[in-house]
Amino acid sequence: MIPADLLLLNIGSLGPFRAFADSDFMGQCIVIAQIVMSICSWGMMLSKKVKLAEVSARSAQFVDAFVRTNDPLEIFVENAHQLQTLTDTPIGQIYANSCERLAALVPVEQRQKMHLDPTYRLSLTRKQMDLVESVCVHTIEEACVRLNGSEMTWIAIFTSSAPLMGLFGTVWGVMYAFQAMAASGSADIAQLAPGISSALLTTVVGLVVAIPSTIGYNLLQSKLEAVSVDLEGFGEDLLGKLRLHYLEDR
């Protein structure tokens, strides 16, 4: 069995650890900052993945309930409790905002009849339907912005900044190594090698941070685009059914 002190000595002599130990204060700060960026980016990517999975599941639940209805306003009129449960999803919010805008355009007398008699059919003009469509489109755009959130921005910042920080650390380390060699007055490679090794460490860590983060970012971006397409598709389906049921000059 290897003694603990010998094991620690062997670990400390390994390339990355030895390079970190040989780095100056600036180089060590850059490496630590890159590691923190990696931890933050992975945490944000996992959080975003879970959030998108939850949004997709709950949106599918709402779409399933909407497809089973004969009247596009049935959930809005008859199932207020279900609406409150499902409007925390982007698709539910699109439906709720569009229906609320439609109801606001209807005279009070017709609105009362609509709540008292579910079979009562509203009648909307094309201009009124255009207003409902504008609310629907605006809600879709807001939902897409919220889905992206600040996490995607920070992941992109970490992904692009880590290699640049690594390049800066490498240039700084090489400059520091040559200054040390000039101060010693000798051009011994054994004296120069540790400085070059520690300088290259920041580039290695930067690439280790950036490559997985880039892959994760692109996968999340692809999922966000798919969700955005689903939102737009639902909006078009909702507006089509509203026109079919309530537009006067259809």
Torsion angle in degrees (nearest 10) through CA of 40, 46, 52, 53: -170
Is residue 69 very low, low, confident or very high in pLDDT (cuts 50, 70, 90)?
confident
Phi, psi (deg, nearest 5) at residue 68 = -75, -10
Where are the chain's structural domains?
A: 24-246
Percent of the chain with pLDDT over 70: 78
pLDDT digits (tens, 9 = 90+) for 155-188: 999 999 998 998 888 888 888 777 777 776 666 6
Count of residues in the chain: 250
pLDDT digits (tens, 9 = 90+) for 88-101: 789 988 998 898 88
pTM of the predicted model as reported, rounded to 2 decimal places: 0.76
For residue 81, which of 68, 103, 65, 104 has the smallest C-alpha distance?
Answer: 65
What's the token pair of residue 130?
């255009």
Residue type, 9: L
pLDDT digits (tens, 9 = 90+) for 205-215: 989 889 999 99
Q: What kind and span of H or E run contains 134? A: helix 126-184
